[in-house]
Amino acid sequence: MSNDLGRVEDLPADYYNGLRARNTMPLWPSLRAALPYGKPARSTAPTLWRYQELRPDLMRAGELTPIEKAERRVLVLCNPGLGLEQLKATPSIYIGMQLILPGETAPNHLHTPSAVRFVVEGEGGYTIVRGEKLPMHRGDLILTPPGLWHQHGHEGTGPVVWLDALDLPVVLGLEASYCTEGAPQTVADSDNASNRRFRRAGVLPYGTLDRSRDDYPMLRFPWAQVREALQDLAGVTGRGDPVHLAYINPETGRECMPTLGFSALMLRPGEELRMRRRSASAVLHVVEGAVTAFVDDTRHAMEPADTLACPTHAVTCLANASATQPAFLFMVDDAPLQRKLGFYEQCG
Ligand code: 1HN
């Protein structure tokens, strides 16, 4: 254990330059930056994006850029600590706000990054994933897993906005991100079929027991069902314990996507929650109510549809700012990826 490792300046210049010329580097001058003691080095800034500030810019994008010129009309929430050009909310999580206007369609494609949509505003939007037409109501979570065809449309009036969450930074880091364009899909499954197959916890379609598992058996998680489940859970959860539900694959009981995790939290009126400190980075999004979030030494007053980036290992406290109304949050984190990599931890 040493904080006193040799530096580049300690080496003869001709030796160091020769190493570089042969595409090699000494490890020891960089070792402590790569492996700091006790806690990782973090550049991610706890950052709040207020929907009321972002919305006019998004609507203006609707006037400035026709959908044909955008393919997907999105403003990306970029963490200033990581550099805006990186398109990262946290080191692993991409977050965008996507606008689709009445009558518009966003073309069919598939890609290697995993994506989900979480609906923020408007009625009449839909996504077709793997031949299933999925209606989009406020708060619904819709999965577009890697390699599944997806296209969007809007049959209603007024703007539709949703939050996109992708593991794009990870897949880009692997130099493995690409997409394939396709002809429009034919709808082969009835409206919302996969959610109706797996509607109730504790019971599964019988045939599930006899066949090998589907990687992504359920593609839509309606907010109305999740909200009701949170209220049921609140009734059997002590105050101070989190009323927190994970979105899962109903066949495996595990996370519903390979790299990013999705969950919903309810804060009862007046409730203050000290979250366990976790190694995962996260993004919080207010669905309903007013929440004061404390992340490390920062404080953020959050309104509906506001979004907040939380670094790895952050100390996070959440307080419902109302003494009479519950508050609801949607959370994205990279815990599934960290579990697969074998180092996910929570403490405190
Ligand atoms: C994508 O496919 C969508 O399908 C949205 O709506 C945002 C950002 C990066 C890469 C792919 C979509 C995306 C994206």
Could you read off the pLDDT of 224-257 as tens digits, one per residue? 999 999 999 999 999 889 999 999 999 999 999 9
pLDDT value of position 240: 85
Same domain, 16 and 154: no
Q: Is the pLDDT of residue 184 over 70?
A: yes
Verify that 9 and 58 share a domain, yes or no: no
Same domain assignment for residues 1 and 106: no
Q: Please state, rounded to an integer, the average pLDDT across all residues of the chain.
A: 96
Q: Are residues 23 and 62 in the same domain?
A: no
Residues 16 and 147 in one domain: no
Q: What is the pLDDT of residue 154?
A: 98
Whether 5 and 117 share a structural domain: no
Domain membership of residue 170 (yes or no) is yes
Q: Which of the listed residues 109, 164, 171 should we mutate to test ligand 1's pocket, taking the one with most ligand atoms within 8 A of CB?
A: 164
Whether 15 maps to a domain, the answer reads yes
Ligand 1 binding pocket includes 143 (Cβ within 6 Å): no
Residue 238 lies in a domain: yes
> 95 and 6, same structural domain?
no
Same domain (yes/no): 246, 222: yes
Rounded to whole angstroms, the Cα distance separating 107 from 112 reads 16
User: Could you tell me if 24 and 76 lie in one domain?
Assistant: no
Q: d(Cα 169, Cα 92) in Å, to the nearest integer?
A: 5
| 164 CB near ligand 1 (under 6 Å) | yes
- What is the pLDDT, as a whole number, of residue 2? 61
- Whether the pLDDT of residue 197 is over 90: the answer is yes
Q: What is the extent of the structural domain holding 6?
A: 1-31
Co-location of 80 and 6 in the same domain: no
Which of 72, 130, 136 should be mutated for ligand 1, with most atoms under 8 A from CB?
A: 72
Total number of domains in the chain: 2
Residues 6+ apart with CB under 8 A from 147: 110, 111, 112
| Listed residue (127, 140, 143) closest to 248, CA to CA | 143
pLDDT given at position 348: 73
Q: Is residue 296 part of a domain?
A: yes
Q: Is the CB of 70 under 6 A from ligand 1?
A: no
CATH number of the domain enclosing 119: 2.60.120.10
Q: Is the per-residue pLDDT at 328 higher than 90?
A: yes
Residue 252: per-residue pLDDT:
94
How confident is residue 347, by pLDDT bands cut at 50, 70 and 90?
A: confident
pLDDT tier for residue 191 given thresholds of 50, 70 and 90 = confident
Distance CA(78)–CA(47), nearest Å, equals 9
Task: Tell me, yes or no, whether 111 lies in a domain.
Answer: yes
The answer to whether residue 164 is domain-embedded is yes
Q: Output the CA 164–ligand 1 centroid distance in Å.
A: 7
Contact 251 CB / ligand 1 (< 6 Å) = no
Same domain, 127 and 220: yes
Q: Is the pTM of this model over 0.95?
A: yes
- Domain presence at residue 40: no
Q: Are residues 55 and 114 in the same domain?
A: yes
Q: Is residue 42 part of a domain?
A: no
**Cα dihedral angle (329, 45, 116, 332), rounded to 10 degrees?**
-40
pLDDT category at 67 given cuts 50, 70, 90 is very high
Percent of the chain at pLDDT > 70 equals 99
What are the pLDDT digits (tens) for 116-133?
999 999 999 999 999 999
- Nearest CA to 272 among 244, 292, 246, 299? 292
